[in-house]
Structure formats: structure tokens, C-alpha cells
Structure 1
């Protein structure tokens, strides 16, 4: 047996995870299978790479040597892969996204910032699933949201940059709703409403909504989980439910969008990419395209435009 890149990656994962069990979970294999593979690697290396204990593993001097070489070799391979993809005459950019408003504006911005690239955009309904697919090489980059304190776990080989660090959630309700004429709405005033939301996308949104409503003195009655945005809008226009929305959401006939007093629910938008697939210059162009797509959506609502313009520290910085 000869050591291969996958063996070096396994050793690196064990060291970073601190245990064979956690490393196996990251790699998507069983713990016995990874333990057996590690024993084979150690036979080739000529000795034990880790000291095992009840609390986990720690590298031996031989293990430190192998890890140093593994990081160097894998880093060079990442750079090689990124360089060849970036140098390809017509590189395809595979971008995975959750259903964010800015995606509607993104196609045109990508064509402007990356004019010679083919673009493959896919909408998924789970941020954690997007991250797993990024690690598996199914996407080159992903665009996702996080709400409140929730953080999507990052994987090795992934770079991440926060696009919008703070975005207040708003509420969409029927234009005939008794609260529709107010400039802003207290969350407590929605205590008796039926709520609809997207299918759970793993961004922490449902948990943040529940926590905010409980702080306002009630438990939200969530009745509808609908993946199709237009179906949700029709349900709201009919007065059958209300929903949290991004403040950049467009006007929808029969509904109104209103800010929540005090911004009780805050989210953020992040861009992550596989360093082995996207070079830093290309990642910068992608970030610029996504940021400009977001900025294009801000004038959708004058109340949010005023909120945004009063907070220049939140504005994305272009390189």
C-alpha cells in the first residue's frame, strides 16, 4: 500500500477533530472503518501517528511530521486544482443557494462580474446540506443565511465571507389585515396569527422566531410549511397566514411588508467557497456579484432603504 491524498486527508481530519469518532462523522464513514484505515496508514508510516486515550487522540512526534507534510501536500493540491479551474477557458461556476431574495438579481450581476464563466445555480432548502455538498465537490460555492446565534458548521478546505452581517426580519401580511396600515408592527400584536414559513432550511430561523415570540409573550401557531414562494404569497394575500420575510422582499399584490418594532429577529448572509475549486481573485469577483445583487434589492422597500443607509458599517466592502 502507498499513501494517497485520501489517506493524508484522513490523518488530518483525525488530528483536527481530536478523535477518530468525530473524524469519521466528518468524513461520512463508520468509526471502525476509519480506525482500520488509520492502522493501515500507520503500518506504511512505520509507527503510531496518534496516542489514544479516553479523551481522544494526540499526535506522536511521527504523527506531527506526517501532519506537517500532509498540510503542505494538500495545500499544494488545493492550489493546483483552483489554478487549473480558474485557468480553464470556460470554467463553470457551480453555485448552490437557499431561497434568498438577492438570487432574483444574481444572474445579471454574475454575467457582469464573471462574463466568461458558465453559471450553474441550484436552489436547495437546507444550509447544512449545502455545506455538505460543497465539501463533497458538488458545488464550488454556496450562498446561505444564518439567523440569530445559529452558525452553519464549516468544513475543512472551505473559506467563508460574511456578505451582510445584520439584516432585520420583517412580517408580510394581507393588505386587508387590521395592522396593514401601521408603519411598524409590534411582534406581540401578532400573537393570535397563524404563521407560514419555508420548509426548514437549517439556518436557525424557526428557532429564532419561536424564541422571539416567546419573549413577546406568546407561542407562534405555525400551520403551513411551504417550499414554493408564490404559494406562500397567495396564502398571505388571502388573509390565512402571516410570515417573516427578508426586508428586501419585493412588492406582492394583495400583501404588505412591514418592519417589526425593535428588530427582534436578526439574520445575516454569508458566502462560502471551496478553496480547491475557486481561486481568491475569482472568489472576490463572486463576492462582488452577490453583494451588488443584494444592493439591487434594497430599494424594494423604502423603510429598509432608510434603515440600511443609516448603518454604513453594515455595507459590504469591495476589494
Structure 2
């Protein structure tokens, strides 16, 4: 494995947080996934970067060397990207919309509105589960806009330097197999799933830290955590071997039921980002308005979420 900038960011995040668990929360990753990534980095460099025990993670001599070089290299590369983007922006053709997106309800409607209202526009999309990767591509001038999610009040899990507008904020729902005893309930208390097995897909989600905290407040610790890609997670839930979390705007799917959590302890924000001094800044307000319209369409098509909003008029401020 060749060492990449994202690997150096991981090493710095662990050193800054003082533990792999805390760094996973900051990066929006599950702790097992970050541990596996650190092990791959250590294999590539030929030795341990951190001594880990109950008190946290402390850099080894090799780790100190890598950190010293990373803390010089990462700001230098970011500066290079910013300067290159500013230089390239004068050559960008008008009417180009390059949009990166993490899984969410907005992208299709946004692309439709741009294409319909600007027939000559060049529209392209790029998908990733990582907000940080998409943010890097905006800074590098490879994307104009990103649509990402963020848990609660946390900032997007991507580099600083982008301008952000909130498109919407929603409660997080449970995702259960259709035949689950709780699937037809209007709301489910987390405590009723104290014995459940849980599954999550990798990405910038609220599963690891926020979900664990919500479960703790409900009086239990999640028993088992499977981590797999989105299709695998859906298969595990549909088969009845696990339950999971989902966005309230999730389009209805055969074999699955999205069920509100009593008290709405978890929230998820849809956000649009762009480079404030880049060419996309001139049309960012219009793109943001299109994104809000696309989100509103997604809500209208989701009967269960619409019904929940009807039962909780005081929560309507969550959905912009």
C-alpha cells in the first residue's frame, strides 16, 4: 500500500484525539474501521505508530517522526491546492456543475432542476461515502459542490475552507425488517432494542458516538455491531439478523420499515458546500435553493415521515 495524504490525516487525528476511539468519533467512522486503517498504515510504514492501552494512544518514535513530517506536509499541500484552484478558476467554463454527494435524498432532484432550468449546463456527479474525500476534491478544483450529511450540530467531516449552507435537518429513524414486531409502530423507544444486533455502513454517520450515547441514555450498550457496505447492511436488516439507523427521508423499500425513534434523540443535517472564492460561489445561492426544493419533494414522497411531522408540529423546524 502506498502512503497517501488521507493516511497522514488519520495519524494526526489519532494523535490529536489521544485515542483511536475518540479519533473515530471526530472522523465520523466506526472504531473498528479506523483501527483496521491504522493497522494498514503501520504495515506500510514498517512499524507501530502508537502505543495503545487503557489510557489512550501515545506516539512511538516512528510515530513522532511521521507526525512531524505530516504536520509540515499537510498544510503545504492544502496551500498548493488553494493556489492551484484560484489559478484554475479563471479558466473554468461557465455553466458547469460538478456535484459530489454522499448518500442522501437530494442529488436526483438537484440534478433535474439544474438540467431543466439551465439546458446548456454541463452537469456531472461523483459519489463517495466520505465527506472528507469530497471536500478534498472541491479544494483541488475537481468538484464545484458537495452534498454531505453531518450528525447533530457537528461540522461536516471534511477539511476547513469550504462555505456551507444547511439544506435540511431531520430526525434519524430506525431501519427494521418489515416483519419485525416493532415495524408497524408509530414510534419505538431505543430501550426496546437493547438486545438487538446492529449494523452500520462506513461513512460520516452518527452511529458510533451519537448512537452509543443515545443507547446509554436509554439504559443499554449496543450488543453487536456489524460494519459493511450499504447493500450488505440492507441485506442483514432485511434478513432479520440486524437493525440499523437511516435518514428519515429514506425512500420506502420492499422488505424494510423506517420507524421513528421516540423522543427523536438523533438528528442528521443535509448540507451543501462549495469553495467561497471559487467559480461556483456565483451560483451557490441558486443551487442551494434547488437543493431545498429537491429535499421538499423527497419529504412529500415519504408518507411515514410526513405522518411523523404531522404528529410532531413542534419539530417541523427541523425540516427546513
Query: TM-score, with normalisation over the residues of structure 2?
Result: 0.67
Which ranges in structure 1 are unaligned for 5 or more consecutive residues? 1-19, 35-73
The structure-2 alpha-carbon separation of the partners of 1:155 and 1:196, relative to structure 1 and needing over 3 Å to count, comes to closer
Shift of 1:314: 4.3
Aligned length: 247
Distance 2:208 2:301 in 1: 25
| Aligned-residue offset at 1:273 | 0.3
Q: What TM-score do you get using the length of structure 1 for normalisation?
A: 0.67
Instruction: Say if 2:106 is the partner of 1:136.
Output: no
Cross-structure match for 1:256:
257
Whether the aligned pair in 2 keeps the contact of 1:143 and 1:269 (CA below 8 Å) is: yes
Equivalent in 41, 55, 76 of residue 27 of structure 1: 76
**Superposition pairs of residues 288-307 of structure 1, within 5 angstroms:** 288-307=289-308
Matched-pair contact (CA < 8 Å) for 2:149–2:204: no
SS in 2 for 1:131: helix
How many Å apart are 1:182 and its aligned residue?
Answer: 1.3
Distance across 2 between alignment mates of 1:312 and 1:148: 16
Say if 1:218 and 1:159 are closer, same or farther in 2 by CA, change over 3 A: same
SS at match of 1:108: helix
Partner of 2:214: 212
Change (3 A) 1:25 1:180: same
Unaligned runs of 5+ in 2: 1-68
- Name the CA shift for 1:156/1:169 in 2 (closer, same or farther; >3 Å): closer
Residue 149 (structure 1) shift? 3.9
Using the TM superposition, give the Cα deviation of residue 248 of structure 1 relative to its aligned residue in structure 2, in angstroms. Answer: 0.8
Does 2:165 match 1:173?
no
Question: Can you list the C-alpha shifts for 1:269-297, whole angstroms capped at 9, x where unaligned?
Answer: 11110134334441122112221221111
**Partners of 1:168 and 1:267 within 8 A in 2:** yes
For 2:246 and 2:74, the matched residues in 1 are separated by 34
Structure number with greater Rg is 1
After the TM superposition, which of the residue ranges 290-299 and 300-309 deviates more from structure 2?
A: 300-309
Deviation per CA, 1:60-91, whole angstroms, max 9, x where unpaired?
xxxxxxxxxxxxxx8xx95x865653xx35x4
2:132–2:159 contact (8 Å) kept in structure 1 = no
2:191 is aligned with 1:188: yes
Q: What is aligned with 1:198?
A: 201
User: Which residue is 1:67 aligned to?
Assistant: none
Separation in structure 2 between the aligned mates of residue 203 and residue 278 of structure 1, nearest angstrom? 30
* CA positional deviation for 1:154: 6.2
